[in-house]
Amino acid sequence: MKQMSYSRSLAVEDGWDVIVCGSGPSGICAAVSAARQGQKTLLLERYGALGGNLTLGNVTTIMGDIASGGLSGEIDRLLHSPDTATGIDREKAKLRLTRLISDAGVQFRLQTPVTDVIREGKEIRGFVVLTPEGPACLKGKVYVDATGDGYVAAMAGAEVMYGRDGDGLVQPVSMMYTIDGVDPKNTLTCCHEEHTTVMENGVEYLALCKEAERAGRLPKNVSIVRLYHTNVPGERLVNATQYNGCHTLKATEIAQAETILQQQLEQVNDFLRREVPGFEHIRVRASADTLGIRESRRIRGLYELKAEDLLRGRQFEDAVVNGANFAIDIHNPSGGGQSETEGCPHQAQPYDIPMRALQPLGLDNLVLAGRCISGSHRAHASYRVMNIAMAVGQAAGCMASEAAEQKCKVSELSAEAVRRRLTDQGCTLRGKTENK
């Protein structure tokens, strides 16, 4: 690809203590956490609504567990999330999340993508953003990358990890959508590959899905059509579309994936209408506004969380999240189903996330939040889910607050000071352990 250089003058806005990029669940928690600690906080979002995958991605089931409490539980209650098998109302979520950050004193800008990072030495000196008035530079003391894709850290020159060992492939992309028109008397749901359900015509649902995929009545590699309840009778949240081999950092491949997934959506609906009793009159009520990306960049930090840490339930002295728990849920990068065990992902034990995994190498005033923190491909498959990402976001907000107040490097933060901030915000953290 050809390259060119140019220069221009930018309008500068400064005075913030903490600037958070990305308003998904993790970014919201980071911003609220920092603002509640008295930091002048700015939250930037490239799209026109808050919530990231929870709202714009239509991933309305909030999954994962943590033991440390705090903002994740507060948001679960705010959004009336009853369980991991029931989708929330994403339109109400947009409004309630906006109220949450406003009440905390967070300033926020929608439709404001970060297009570049100004770096001097090991410090970020500002974000270049696109505004209706043109490009501008926003300056703070400490910055938080909650973009999911880690693109702020990447633009700042952080070390990037991508894909699984060996072939570099990432988990497939998808498009979540909601249907209505289901017979209100029909109770069919299917949340995972172990969910055995016999339909009212006597056919086992999962077996039907697998046979339909083999026969070409479902898209390739779509051997399960996951159906979740919502709070509205006659609705289902559908997680079924899948596109393998998409490089999630290349614009042309993302555009191609969007088109293919829209086509898959119609094929899945045709299958449901023709073969599933009670679904004869379904229609699409809402589809995701953004591509469902499970995996992209992971940023190298002071510690790289490993799958072995999760499988043995490792505890850390510098833990900022306790009791994180979700399966090592790797949707097969090169085929259908799970990549490691047929229909049954490896189950993690409740594990800690250390502060060091949120501290990127080589950048003194940047904190990582959400799924771009430092971890392996396998470990990422567990901590990428929303409840865990929210807990990580709250920790990132406490780290940014401590660094701003102490005027210290992120790599020099005191774990005990950050942990005190978290406990002051309602998180329950274990004491020190001998595991180092």
Closest CA to 220 of 255, 276, 176, 268: 268
Q: pTM for the full model?
A: 0.95
Answer yes or no: is pLDDT of 194 > 80. Answer: no
Q: What's the DSSP call for residue 77? A: H
The pLDDT tens digits for 225-256 are 999 999 899 999 999 999 999 999 999 999 99
State percent of the chain over pLDDT 70: 98
Q: What's the DSSP call for residue 222? A: -
165 CB-side CA count, 13 A = 5
Q: Look at the block and give the residue holding tokens 């700042």.
A: 156
Answer yes or no: is pLDDT of 414 > 70. Answer: yes
How far does Cα 324 stand from its chain's mean position? 15
Answer yes or no: is pLDDT of 198 > 70. Answer: yes
pLDDT, the chain, mean: 94
Task: Look at residue 436 in the predicted model and tell me its pLDDT.
Answer: 40
Which H/E stretch holds residue 43? strand 41-44
253 CB-side CA count, 13 A = 12
Task: Look at residue 320 in the predicted model and tell me its pLDDT.
Answer: 98
Task: Look at residue 159 in the predicted model and tell me its pLDDT.
Answer: 98
Which H/E stretch holds residue 89? none
Answer yes or no: is pLDDT of 197 > 90. Answer: no
String of b and e for 72-94 (b: at least 16 CB within 10 Å)?
bbbbbebbebeebbbbbbbeebb
Query: Rounded distance, CA 78 to CA 97, Å?
Result: 8
Q: Where are the beta strands (DSSP E) in 111-159?
A: 114-120, 123-131, 134-145
Cα four-point dihedral sign 389, 375, 16, 249: negative
What's the CATH code, domain 11-164+295-424? 3.50.50.60
**Domain segments of the chain as ranges:** 11-164+295-424, 177-287
8 A C-beta contact, residue 128 and residue 12: no
CA distances from 317 to 99, 305, 394, 418 (A): 35, 14, 18, 12
403 CB-side CA count, 13 A = 28
Average pLDDT of span 181-188: 94
Task: Look at residue 434 in the predicted model and tell me its pLDDT.
Answer: 38
Contacts of 35 (CB under 8 A, 6+ apart): 18, 41, 101, 104, 105, 106
Which of 130-134, 281-285, 299-303 has the lowest average pLDDT? 130-134
Q: Which residues pair with 226 in a beta bridge?
A: 239
